[in-house]
Chain A
Amino acid sequence: MAANPFAEAARADSISGPPASIDYLGDAVFRAIAYICAVMIIALVAFILWELGGKAWPAMQDHGLGFVTGTTWDTNKGEFGVLPEIWGTLYSSLLALVLGGIFGIAIAIFLTQDFIHARLAAVFRTIVELLAAIPSVVYGLWGIYVLIPLIRPGAAWLHEHLGWFPMFGTELSGPGLAPAALVLAIMILPTVAAISADAFRRVPYKVKEAVFGMGTTRWEAILRVMLPTASSGILAALVLGFGRALGETMALAMLIGNSNQISLSLFSPANTLASLLASNFPEAGAIEVKALMYAALVLLAITFVVNVVGLAIQQYTMRKFEGIK
């Protein structure tokens, strides 16, 4: 058994034995599977990029960078530009991130920092995570039938009294940026809350005891110690949430109003890249399909940049607050 270097060293009367060949085999198989899975993920992304790039290439040659700065999407004239969609995607996702982020982290603190009994916290946690199981279309319908009528009076008041402020510059007619961003915020809430809660839970209990031992109040402990210590996990949660918001399709297609305009106003209709794809793809002709592929590539690029930036910030906070080099 040359293949089993531990066999010779084993003592006959010991209960612990050297790994049998089956263990080696299992190990090798598991490693192979793990490698294959890892390679397949990379291959899949590469394949998607290649496919998208190949189909978008004619449009990229035709429109070049003008595609990213153009503001018209006119199939009939063959004019394609996605600046309003890029703006709408980033604007709605950022708003959703701010709202969903604040509420998500607040929920995580509430659930993990001994505000309520652990069992009750588990119930709350399950309820928040249930939000992730609701289909996108249902959020869209809920937005149309419940949320828009609900926020209409508030929006009208804001426009009337604070209309000089660009964010309230127009009246809410129905679908628009505000209802879309609110629904997006609710959709990313479970992601942000669940991952942030895990991050808080990872902080050893001894740290908290030590902090209280130094005579801090509860809020000092949470804001000065717990939050910075868990910050890298929270940032990961925010990056994931932002990614989800960028790519969200159906609910937005139903709520954002799909209007190709760039406006700071929360109440005016806008458009997003994913919504553009969902709306135009089914009936698109050959030329438009190429332009849509290009738009999909732009969305992929935005998501990539967001992830890289998120990772960089995470590394930075890790170094700063957690002392990990």
Chain B
Amino acid sequence: MRLYSCLTTLVVAGFLTGLALSMPVAAADQKLIGSGASFPAPIYGKWFKDFSRANKGVRVDYQSKGSGAGIQDFLNQTVDFAASDAAMNDEEIAKVKGGAVLLPMTAGEIVLSYNLEGVDELRLPRDVYPDIFMGKITKWNDPRIVAANPGVKLPDRDITVVVRSDSSGTSYVFTGHLSAISEAFKNSVGQAKAPNWPKAGRIVKAPKNDGVTATIKQTPGAIGYIEYGFAKLSGAPTALLENQSGKFVAPSAESGKAALASAEFPAGNLPGSDVPDLRVWVTDPAGADAYPIATFTWLLLYKDQDDEKAKVLRDLVEYMLTTGQESADAMGYIPLPDNVVARVREVSQLVQ
């Protein structure tokens, strides 16, 4: 009986201490919650953790749910900020109470990863890879692929195309590029977060970047699109793509930066507000060394909001633009070009 009462006292005391400990922390905390795109989630996770550590009393949490879900949360005002690979469209922006500020924070490339034994370097011309994803080229030893790869022994094997099964910003950017360079692709599949891929036994769908990466790795003769960071982490072989100037370019931080350098922000403001429009798509970059498929990813912030939160958010953006960019390359993202950094910094001051 004594033992029991001792235990009870201990449990109650422990509970009270826990309560006492948790209360002052909760009061002093400036807690920011965000959700959205899964593509920048690894680097955002690192940035937010480092930022929270460097600033006492500030905690930033990010939930990687996907761009669409992030926009939904942002519209429902259940988060302090959101992230999206497809930015937001005009209709969505009009629905945001208090106005929205869209800031490109980092960028990435989309690579074509393949699985062909003994082929270390694969070059894919501009007129070939859209046809592969439309199911028009079905063999690896197709004369058009062979012609672009002299000296490479391409097997007589069916091409298995691996695409995303979930709706995704990655698909949106990839199909946007294919639509820009191929009229036939634009008319048959078109640009979409969940494109209606042709129905064929040779086109399979896998969930998320990891699913596509794993499926390619396990399927001889497979090709699919994934984010550069994933290919870099998993060491999957990636194809060299022909860019607008006719040069075959491998994905890398430099070629990505060259692609983004050609980006010009549209003149004018977001619809119905005085916030400059920073939505720009690099569907077909012009530079000679530019890798053809690159994209920004955006942070979505409320323009008018709680003053204290706004200050922390401005600090956070500043941190991401300065210290943050340094870790981008190592994690498989493209650091923002300097002119973009300056522009984003300027626009971020509108968050008040």
Q: CB within 8 Å of B: which residues of A?
A: 72-77, 141, 144-145, 148-149, 170-171, 173-176, 253-254, 257-261, 263, 265, 268-269, 275, 278-280, 282-285, 288
Contacts and interface: CB of A to CB of B under 8 A. Distances in A.
Contacts, number: 102
B190 A174 contact: no
Nearest to A145: B218
B165 A144 contact: no
A282 B218 contact: no
20 contacts: A74-B196, A75-B194, A77-B196, A144-B215, A149-B218, A170-B201, A171-B158, A254-B206, A254-B211, A257-B204, A259-B199, A259-B204, A259-B205, A269-B204, A279-B165, A279-B205, A280-B166, A282-B65, A283-B68, A283-B166
Contact of B218 (A144, A258, A269): A144
B193 A75 contact: yes
A269 B201 contact: yes
B204 A282 contact: no
Contact of A174 (B69, B195, B222): B222
Contacts of A145: 214, 218
B86 to A, nearest CB: 10
Contact of A173 (B66, B196, B201): B201
Contact of A278 (B160, B207, B215): B207
A145 to B, nearest CB: 6
Contact of A283 (B66, B206, B222): B66
Interface of A, secondary structure class, is: loop
B194 A174 contact: no
A278 B165 CA distance: 10
A170 B199 CA distance: 14
A282 B192 contact: no
A28 B168 CA distance: 56
Nearest to B71: A285
A266 B343 CA distance: 55
Given A174-B204, A175-B204, A283-B67, A261 B199 contact: yes
Contacts of A170: 201
B167 interface: yes
B219 interface: yes
Given A144-B214, A174-B218, A257 B205 contact: yes
Interface string B164-177: 01111000000000
B207 A174 contact: no
Contacts of A275: 165
A60 B279 CA distance: 36
Nearest to A250: B207
Interface string B147-170: 000000000001010100111100
Contacts of B158: 171, 173
B165 A253 contact: yes
A173 B202 contact: yes
A279 B207 contact: yes
